[in-house]
Amino acid sequence: MSLLEITDLSIDYLTERGTLRAVDCVSLSVERGESVGIAGESGCGKTTLGLAVPLLLAPNATVATGSITLDGTSLVGLSEKAMDPMRWTKVAFVFQGAMNALNPVHRIDHQILEAITTHEPGIDVGAARARVLHLLDAVGIAPARASSYPHEFSGGMRQRAMIAMSLACRPRLLIADEPTTALDVISQAQILSLLNNLRHAEGLSLILISHDLAAIKRVCDRVVVMYAGIIVESGSTASIFGTSGAAPSAAHPYTQALISAHPNLHGTRVLAEGLSGHPPDLSQTMIGCRFADRCPMVMEVCHKVAPTLVTIAPGHVAACHLVSGEAS
């Protein structure tokens, strides 16, 4: 049984313009010890999907349909009281922007210690403090810096502290939302290496949410590409991005566009081409393929019929009329 099973999940936001469906009938599984990357441009629904797992959605968001099962427990509909024991111990979330996620008036060790003592009320305080120092050391922060305030840390160190805090209660699933945003390239590389090393050392399952395909390629076993609230392609990292000896096998034009927008440092230098237009308005009823208005290979059928996910290789699916045999 998979550690995480998401089935036909739809999430709506109630806005001034009406109901906006940010995630539409998405199904996704994460195996134990597996790392999955969720890619897509801003507004595609990837963060909403991630926040739905620990039920940390905004007050104006509701789960309209579907189910979320984590380690055998169905989460949708659970009360806050019932959900509290699941957070930190079964699933932990690394929020985007560590610059603002830490409490500026409390020392780093106090904030990590609070997570441990809250979820493990019977723990010996000395053992909890020892775990805090061990966690900081594991993420590359000298234990001597444990009593520092957040403002005394660089951006990269604050992100490391957030990762240490997320691991405080030994969760089975870690969801990291854009963990390298606003960091310099050296810090980005260090954070990605840290996540990869911790995943193997702790036996974690990892969901990495990012618009940075290079980050996903480096850390993840499998890639899920979202566009306008749906999954348009999913497959192994090797099959979609290719390996050193094989070209990318991305089948959906959107995935191909995302890959082409990132320079290949080891191949022929080519000018990256951007996509024209914008993602569709999710508050409106959509007919046909959601990517049709921006797709360079659009066909007549794309404006009439919404493509469904079809298998194009073992473990590799895509939702496109070009690969479903419905082209006309």
pLDDT confidence of residue 110? 96
For the chain, which ranges sit under pLDDT 70? 98-99, 244-247, 263-272, 325-328
Chain segment 276-325, per-residue pLDDT in tens: 888 899 988 899 999 999 999 999 999 999 999 999 989 999 999 998 76
pLDDT confidence of residue 198? 86
Distance CA 35, CA 41 (A): 20
- Residues facing 177 on adjacent strands: 209
- Residues facing 210 on adjacent strands: 39
Handedness of CA 195, 262, 232, 17 (dihedral sign): positive
Going from N- to C-terminal start, the domains of the chain cover 252-328
In this structure, what is the dihedral angle of CA atoms 211, 232, 71, 114, given to the nearest 10 degrees? 20
In SS3 terms, the chain reads as CCCEEEEEEEEEEEECCEEEEEEEEEEEEECCCCEEEEECCCCCCHHHHHHHCCCCCCCCEEEEEEEEEECCEECCCCCHHHHCCCECCCEEEECCCHHHHCCCCCCHHHHHHHHHHHHCCCCCHHHHHHHHHHHHHHCCCCHHHCCCCHHHCCHHHHHHHHHHHHCCCCCCEEEEECCCCCCCHHHHHHHHHHHHHHHHHHCCEEEEEECCHHHHHHHCCEEEEEECCEEEEEEEHHHHHCCCCCCCCCCCHHHHHHHHCCCCCCCCCCCCCCCCCCCCCCCCCCCCCCCHHHCCCCCHHHHCCCCCCEEEECCEEECCHHHHCCCC
Distance CA 196, CA 91 (A): 17
Q: Which residues contact 213 (CB under 8 A, 6 or more apart)?
A: 39, 241, 258, 259, 262
Axis crossing angle, helix 108-119 with helix 155-166, rounded to the nearest 10: 10
| CB contact at 8 A, 140 and 160 | yes
- Residues facing 234 on adjacent strands: 224, 317
| pTM for this entry | 0.92
- Residues facing 68 on adjacent strands: 6
Rg (CA), the chain: 21
Chain segment 51-69, per-residue pLDDT in tens: 999 999 999 999 999 999 9
- Backbone angles phi and psi of 274, in degrees to 5: -90, 165
